[in-house]
């Protein structure tokens, strides 16, 4: 029987951890086989700050996904976020020894390797090296250089950098949970795969993913990633403001925000009041919905203005960099009432809410097409691209649980070695872009590097 290409994504967020198992159906859509969700303990603003609690939360989500799907998870693609993430633009070139030969995948890989050797600040490591546009012998604006002739190959790169210790902490949590790490993806890139169309990426679009601890930004223009940023504020600071402003406990503040919250104060009348039960027999507390939305409005404006500063830093006011498709909002924070109207008011740009349902199979549970699951869906899509078998049916699992934990690493490395000749050929295929091939081969080495580090640390 042919092996199924089962993919697993793990979204380690500040408020929740989601493990999602899926596969491509015959129509090329994502069929979700099982989802596990747990409250995220030990993660603050996208960064692990308590290893033990994070491991427990990951295990809970993994177990639930396995129970729901009937599959045993071997490895996962994980999203990376947090305020330590920054991005830089870099241009580099190579001189080819034989300009009479056509440019191939090896030349591009050589250029990528050169960028990977860039000197970073102490404690920082390169996570993504994303080629933008190529230049061959002075001819610019080349998107696909493979198959062309030239002596000097030059490219501009979008380089995403993160704190090495934070990335390794995530790796340690995953390995300690009894599964392997098969890939790392910047969370805004995963979300963009799930909710943006190719037309939007061509026209120019800013994706704003409002999570619990961070707000992630990814800007695309001409189908190429142009700018990424992570702002260390999200839905949790709104909840904290409600908690302080209304003198109530966090659980009640979160419920108030979700059920009655609005980002537009003019919406509520002065006499609209909600009564909250008092603690331990105390009198109930009455809260004006107008005051509630004023608190939410003030914080949301602050978050959106910070994101808009990043959009301006990209240079969207330049006619050549104009974002014609405007803004797409996703993540849990995008469910806040009237947030779309507020973002349009602040930025003056067309805005829509991004749902990951475009890539989901028709029979998928409606819950999974919520903006909450955008990152998880994007990570599963990323895992499918890696062509790994990240989970196997429980009935196929041989009862060799001790061997099971170490086995996937060898399997992954062997699969990558076997796959190389196939990937080299795939350059002639139109549908696989240069960027996707490079992203994969770079991650293969990067993930191996983390595994070596974790193994040596034991």
d(C-alpha 433, C-alpha 395), whole Å: 37
- What's residue 454's pLDDT? 64
User: pLDDT tier at 271 (50, 70, 90 boundaries)?
Assistant: confident
Burial 283-294 (b: 16+ CB within 10 A, else e): eeeebbbbbbbe
Contact call for residues 53 and 38 (beta carbons, < 8 A): no
The whole-number pLDDT of residue 231 equals 92
Q: What is the mean pLDDT of residues 323-331?
A: 96
252 pLDDT band, cuts 50/70/90, is very high
Question: Could you tell me which CATH class the domain 86-163 is placed in?
Answer: alpha beta
Strands 351-353 and 391-393: what pairing? unpaired
Strand boundaries in 137-252, DSSP class E:
139-142, 152-163, 180-186, 205-210, 215-221, 224-231
pLDDT averaged over the chain?
85
Identify the pLDDT of residue 390.
Answer: 82
Give the C-alpha distances (Å, rounded to integers) separating 43 from 214, 303, 340: 11, 20, 28
Confidence of residue 84 (pLDDT cuts 50, 70, 90): confident
Q: What is the pTM of this model?
A: 0.83
pLDDT at 443: 55
Q: What is the pLDDT of residue 265?
A: 84
Question: Rounded to an integer, what distance in angstroms lies between the CA atom of residue 57 and that of residue 17?
Answer: 7
Alpha helices, H only, 218-288: 235-246, 250-260
Query: Sorting pLDDT into bands at 50, 70 and 90, what band is 402?
Result: very low
Residue 4 scores a pLDDT above 70: yes
- Residue position matching structure tokens 């990240």: 390
Query: What is the rounded distance in angstroms from the CA atom of residue 107 to the CA atom of residue 10?
Result: 33
To the nearest whole percent, how much of the chain has pLDDT over 70?
86
What residue spans in the chain does CATH classification 3.30.420.40 cover? 7-82+164-194+359-457, 195-354
Looking at residue 267, its pLDDT comes to 72
Q: Find out if CATH 3.30.420.40 is the number for domain 195-354.
A: yes
**pLDDT given for residue 456 in this prediction:** 66
How far is it, in rounded angstroms, from Cα 203 to Cα 190? 19
* Lowest-pLDDT choice from 44-53, 267-276, 417-426: 417-426
Q: Is the pLDDT of residue 3 over 70?
A: no
Per-residue pLDDT at 363 = 79
Q: What is the pLDDT of residues 407-435, one digit of tens each?
A: 444 443 344 344 444 333 333 334 445 55
Q: What pLDDT does residue 398 have? A: 53
pLDDT tens string 332-372: 999 999 999 999 999 999 999 999 988 888 878 888 889 99
Q: Domain 7-82+164-194+359-457: which CATH class?
A: alpha beta
pLDDT for the residue numbered 359:
85
- pLDDT of res. 28: 84
Of the listed ranges 87-91, 186-190, 408-412, 452-456, the least confidently predicted one is 408-412
Residue 401 above 70 pLDDT?
A: no
Instruction: Grade residue 82 by pLDDT with cuts at 50, 70 and 90.
Output: confident
Counting residues of the chain whose pLDDT is more than 90, the rounded percentage is: 61
Residue in the block written with tokens 């859509």: 29
């Amino acid at each position: 029987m042919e092996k199924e290409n089962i993919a697993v994504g793990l979204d380690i967020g500040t408020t929740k951890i989601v493990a999602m198992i899926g596969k491509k159906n015959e129509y090329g859509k994502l069929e979700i086989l099982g989802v596990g969700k747990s409250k995220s303990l030990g993660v603050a603003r996208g960064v692990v700050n308590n290893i033990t609690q994070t491991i427990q939360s990951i295990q809970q989500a993994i177990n639930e996904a396995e129970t729901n799907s009937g599959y045993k998870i071997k490895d996962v693609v994980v999203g990376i976020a947090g305020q330590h993430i920054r991005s830089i633009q870099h241009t580099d070139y190579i001189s080819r020894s034989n300009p009479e030969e056509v440019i191939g995948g090896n030349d591009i890989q050589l250029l990528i390797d050169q960028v990977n050797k860039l000197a970073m600040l102490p404690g920082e490591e390169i996570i993504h090296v994303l080629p933008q546009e190529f230049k061959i012998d002075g001819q610019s604006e080349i998107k696909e250089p493979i198959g062309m002739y030239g002596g000097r190959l030059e490219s501009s790169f979008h380089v995403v950098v993160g704190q090495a210790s934070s990335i390794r902490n995530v790796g340690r949590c995953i390995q300690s949970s009894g599964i392997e790490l098969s890939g790392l993806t910047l969370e805004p890139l995963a979300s963009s795969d799930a909710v943006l169309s190719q037309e939007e990426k061509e026209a120019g679009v800013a994706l704003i993913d409002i999570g619990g601890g961070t707000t992630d930004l990814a800007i695309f223009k001409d189908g190429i990633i142009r700018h990424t940023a992570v702002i260390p504020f999200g839905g949790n600071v709104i909840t904290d403001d409600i908690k302080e402003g209304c003198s109530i406990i966090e659980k009640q503040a979160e419920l108030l925000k979700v059920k009655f919250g609005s980002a537009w104060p003019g919406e509520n009348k002065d006499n609209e009041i909600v009564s909250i039960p008092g603690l331990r027999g105390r009198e109930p507390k009455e809260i004006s919905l107008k005051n509630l939305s004023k608190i939410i409005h003030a914080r949301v404006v602050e978050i959106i203005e910070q994101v808009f500063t990043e959009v301006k830093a990209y240079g969207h006011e330049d006619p050549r960099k104009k974002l014609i498709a405007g803004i797409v909002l996703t993540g849990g924070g995008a469910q806040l009432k009237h947030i779309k109207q507020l973002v349009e008011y602040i930025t003056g740009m067309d805005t829509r809410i991004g749902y990951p349902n475009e890539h989901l199979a028709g029979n998928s549970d409606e819950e999974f097409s919520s903006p909450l699951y955008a990152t998880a869906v994007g990570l599963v899509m990323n895992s499918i691209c890696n062509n790994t078998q990240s989970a196997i049916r429980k009935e196929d699992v041989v009862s060799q649980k001790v061997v099971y934990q170490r086995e996937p690493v060898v399997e992954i490395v062997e699969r990558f070695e076997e796959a190389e000749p196939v990937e080299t050929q795939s350059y002639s295929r139109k549908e696989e872009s240069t960027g996707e091939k490079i992203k994969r081969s770079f991650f293969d080495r990067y993930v191996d590097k983390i595994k070596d580090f974790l193994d040596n640390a034991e």
